[in-house]
Amino acid sequence: MKRFSGREDSRHAETACVFRDLNEEIAAIARSLPAGELPAFLCECGSGCTQHVILTLPEYEDVRSHPLRFVVVRGHDTPEIDVVVEQTERFAVVEKQAPVSVRLALARDPRRAARRTEPPGQGVRFTLLPLV
């Protein structure tokens, strides 16, 4: 098994993150497609390939609910960097494992700002002031 250097891991993860960002734009457009049409997303394998991956929007959203997960064409996983966590006839889902990849995937997560550790409104306290 080939060992990736920190630089190679970083370049691979950065490329995967760029394609994840592009897929976020594709998903936004796909929400306006007629019912039953499946959008073609880009493979997020990190090698820079431009092959298409067909997913339903719920499948895509499931992948995006995990910031370390990326959708790839079957067989485009890189065992030195990630592990396959799901596979269908149409696509595979990989999860980043290498330390540099994990850090970049978390830092570049396009939905990071929207993630909350508490439900909205939790932790908010109001103090009633006496009427004067």
The Cα–Cα gap between 39 and 25 comes to 11
Confidence of residue 127 (pLDDT cuts 50, 70, 90): very low
Residue 120 has pLDDT above 90, yes or no: no
| 3-state class (DSSP) for residue 28 | helix
Give me the amino acid identity at 34: P
pLDDT at 9: 74
Residue 132 has pLDDT above 60, yes or no: no
| 3-state class (DSSP) for residue 30 | helix
Quick one: average pLDDT of 99-107?
Answer: 91
pLDDT at 37: 84
